[in-house]
């Protein structure tokens, strides 16, 4: 499955392949600071960008960077360097209806002012990081 998307001003466009339509919401303070709210994102198998020169990459940690449009500021992706993986902001996809909320992470950092409905796993930051470490062992 291939899907297209773009930033608010259209200076950056992309085509993503092998999209995992199971969306995760991250409530960590970094995502909230970066997006202005919780980050809703989905991993993709691969992504091709158009208008690369308009993409700014902020190194938010040693292992990842966050990409945004230099013209309009749209949050576009979280890029894990190793393994090389793009986790795209689902709000930038042209077809937003394809996604379903499958889980929340860093629930312990979520402000009490909002809650997402639905019966899905809600992991604390510690639980999420432990699950990632477990995945790396297999």
Options 3, 5, 7, 128; binder of Zn ion; rule CB under 5 A: 7
Interaction of residue 28 with Zn ion, rule CB under 5 A: yes
Residue 69 touches Zn ion, criterion: CB under 5 A: yes
Contacts 24+ apart (CB under 8 A), 36-40: 38/110, 38/114, 38/116, 39/75, 39/78, 39/89, 40/89, 40/90, 40/91, 40/99, 40/101
Is the Cβ of residue 1 or residue 129 nearer to Zn ion in the bound state? 129
Under rule CB under 5 A, residue 23 binds Zn ion = no
Structure tokens given for 133 = 């470490």
In the complex, the residues that contact Zn ion under the rule CB under 5 A are 7, 9, 11, 26, 28, 31, 69, 71-72
């Amino acid at each position: 499955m291939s899907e297209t998307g773009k930033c608010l001003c259209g200076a950056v466009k992309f085509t993503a392949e092998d999209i995992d339509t199971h969306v995760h919401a991250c409530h960590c303070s970094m995502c909230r600071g970066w997006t202005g709210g919780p980050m809703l994102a989905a991993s993709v198998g691969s992504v091709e960008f158009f208008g690369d020169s308009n993409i700014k990459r902020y190194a938010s940690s040693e292992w990842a960077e966050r990409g945004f449009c230099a013209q309009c500021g749209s949050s576009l992706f979280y890029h894990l360097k190793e393994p090389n993986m793009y986790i795209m902001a689902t709000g930038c996809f042209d077809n937003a209806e394809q996604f379903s909320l499958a889980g929340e992470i860093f629930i312990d950092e979520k402000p009490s002012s909002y809650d997402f409905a639905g019966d899905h796993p809600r992991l604390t930051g510690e639980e999420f990081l432990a699950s990632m470490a477990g995945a790396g062992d297999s």
